[in-house]
Chain A
């Protein structure tokens, strides 16, 4: 079991090793994808084994994997696989076009591997201090990806990202300190007892006043990584300036990792403080995020001639909105709220991987990230255009895709637990987001335009560009039509771990 946990973390390092040994983009990309596939397979085996046994613990509590961590491991390693396959196509196209030097290609795969591996490791630790260390380290690795292109814009985005996120995560560390202050009645002495399971089991003995502060600081701190408003300001820049597969990793894997940390703190806070306080905090940040995400989609989308915006930035604002939705779901709480929140992290991750990888394809073909000049995708590049269009309807929560189901669950949770005003407000905001977002993506997909040049050399690269989009759409469709019994059991078990 411990070997499996190590294998999950070590898998993505294959691409790093290949890049360090001097492989070119194609070979390093294939190695990275193979490693990510191993990692995903190990995560699936571990998850299946988890259902029938006690949580995996070891190394004095530094290693701790229960069903909740396994569920997030599954999502993150799945996204890593999609993005790693997408990287083969994207990075080798950039290398062939001369946009990336050999050095940049090497840097890309080194930091991509590190980033994925550190995120997976942070999901496997039970020690809240180590959780901080690993999340901050993953911030630094991904900052290098954001600034990879080395232009003024990408360096600016990387600087903003690294300084805001580092401050945020440091605030989360202060929150962790306050959690320990709250636990000083427990006479925490050995390393073992600093761990999440111990604190959760003894949450009744924590002092409420420092715990309240600890929870707030953790939500603000890790919420900076999640992109909750008003700490979201780094997010659109970083997502827009990073190479597209790295944007997919940021939006679909990194944000989920931050949310995982918040869920752990939430579980402890709920036991001691009751529902009201955590709910208030999460609903406030959640609604702020949804409102900010939607407002920026409208405002930026209607500026310029012709009206339009950087489409990666549009997807990034949609990430802010969706993280807000997940925070709201956690705030609503109850069985439905938690179920919806966990399901939504998975659905959103898959949908955003499709959108960002698709946007990478469009950016390579049209050499722009603005939606204005991109027209007639469906006619010119039918597959990418179709995937982008279907992906955007999926992310907007229209049936028959998975996000419809999870958003529906979340709204139901709202009606079940809070006053009807909040879920109605959420529905209204979602409707506005639908119009603002779909206006831009349908504009890109429809119309007439000459076919752009093909950026890929060789069939392998072309396939690597297409395969993750197809796989992602199939997953979204399956999750929209029915929840496989296995997944249902996994989510139920995960909820049991934090209730």
Chain B
């Protein structure tokens, strides 16, 4: 575990990837185009797979190499390509107008949430021994930003991307626990995410066929 001290090259790379992932979450929060949501999510997943590869390289873990490859293939390429083909292009989505706050407001709220994440995961609260402790607040912040995106966006596709960002945040936290998080669990999480995206795709396209616009803001049939 000592190998991944923050000063080692691997530790620096891991921290840098964490920061990049956070910035990409902010970029997604600050954009208004469906194409960009998908692109930022894809880029974030590519950086995530790089982070997993760094940890895999440090610990010589074949399982983590497999995970890094899976992340790149499924989250970095598979999900962005399918959502772009099956949702963004086929439903001719371009500008997201179903946002309940202004972009600047959501960015400010995102900044506050990031500060909050650092507050609750102060180093003295997290015991020593965690690999790359700097990643913990970063992953928490990404989870909160994804959740914020789901709250302020009312379009189903935007909410789907928000959930995927939350999931990336959790995954970033999980790769810091390489030594303890069993491979089968990580693989299972992967399977769940892929199956989840598939089933959501079915629902969103089914809804779009039935309603003029599948924005969660338009989903008002069931209330109370």
Contact = CB atoms under 8 A, between A and B. Distances in A.
Contacts of A194: 180-182
Q: Kindly state the interface size class of chain A when it binds its partner.
A: 35 or more
A62 interface: yes
Given A152-B207, A167-B166, A237 B222 contact: yes
B181 A162 contact: no
A127 B170 contact: no
A337 B174 CA distance: 35
Given A140-B196, A189-B180, A133 B189 contact: yes
Interface in A178-218: 180-182, 184-185, 187-189, 191, 193-194, 207, 209-210, 213
A129 interface: yes
A152 B219 CA distance: 9
A162 B169 CA distance: 19
B213 to A, nearest CB: 12
Interface in B117-163: 120, 125-130, 136, 140, 143, 147, 150, 156, 159-160, 163
B162 to A, nearest CB: 8
B188 interface: yes
Given A147-B203, A177-B177, A166 B222 contact: no
Contact of A209 (B125, B174, B211, B222): B125
A210 B184 CA distance: 25
Nearest to B185: A129
A194 B120 CA distance: 24
Of the candidates A62, A151, A156, A193, the one having the most CB atoms from chain B within 10 angstroms of its own CB is A156
B219 A180 contact: no
A498 interface: no
Q: Kindly state the interface size class of chain B when it binds its partner.
A: 35 or more
B173 A300 contact: no
A353 to B, nearest CB: 23
B210 A213 contact: no
Contact of A156 (B125, B196, B222): B222
A159 B204 contact: yes
B97 interface: no
Given A130-B188, A159-B200, A170-B166, A299 B143 contact: no
Contacts of B202: 147
A272 interface: no
Contacts of A159: 156, 200, 203-204, 207, 216, 219
Interface residue SS majority, chain A: helix
Contacts of A163: 150, 156, 159-160, 163, 200
A240 B222 CA distance: 10
A237 B224 CA distance: 9
Interface string A42-83: 000000000000000000101000000000000000000000
Contacts of A296: 224
Interface string A121-152: 00000010110111011001001100100111
B164 to A, nearest CB: 10
B182 A160 contact: no
Contacts of B173: 174, 177
Contacts of A171: 143, 166
A394 to B, nearest CB: 26
B203 A210 contact: no
Interface string B69-89: 000000000000000000000
Contacts of B181: 129, 180, 194
A140 B127 contact: no
A210 B130 CA distance: 12
Contacts of B224: 236, 296, 299-300
Contact of A188 (B180, B191, B196, B216): B180
Nearest to B189: A133
A155 B222 CA distance: 11
B206 interface: yes
28 contacts: A127-B185, A129-B186, A129-B188, A132-B185, A133-B188, A134-B188, A136-B196, A144-B199, A147-B202, A152-B210, A155-B203, A156-B219, A158-B203, A159-B219, A162-B200, A163-B159, A163-B163, A170-B143, A170-B163, A171-B143, A174-B170, A177-B170, A181-B136, A182-B127, A184-B129, A191-B182, A207-B126, A237-B222
Interface of B: 120, 125-130, 136, 140, 143, 147, 150, 156, 159-160, 163, 166-167, 169-170, 173-174, 177, 179-182, 184-186, 188-189, 191-192, 195-196, 199-200, 202-204, 206-207, 210-211, 216, 219, 221-222, 224
Q: Which 7 A-B pairs have the closest CB atoms?
A: A133-B188, A129-B185, A209-B125, A152-B210, A184-B129, A188-B180, A191-B182
Given A155-B207, A171-B143, A184-B129, 19 more contacts: A127-B182, A151-B210, A153-B221, A155-B210, A156-B219, A156-B221, A163-B150, A166-B163, A166-B196, A173-B189, A177-B173, A181-B126, A182-B127, A184-B127, A191-B182, A194-B180, A207-B125, A237-B222, A299-B224
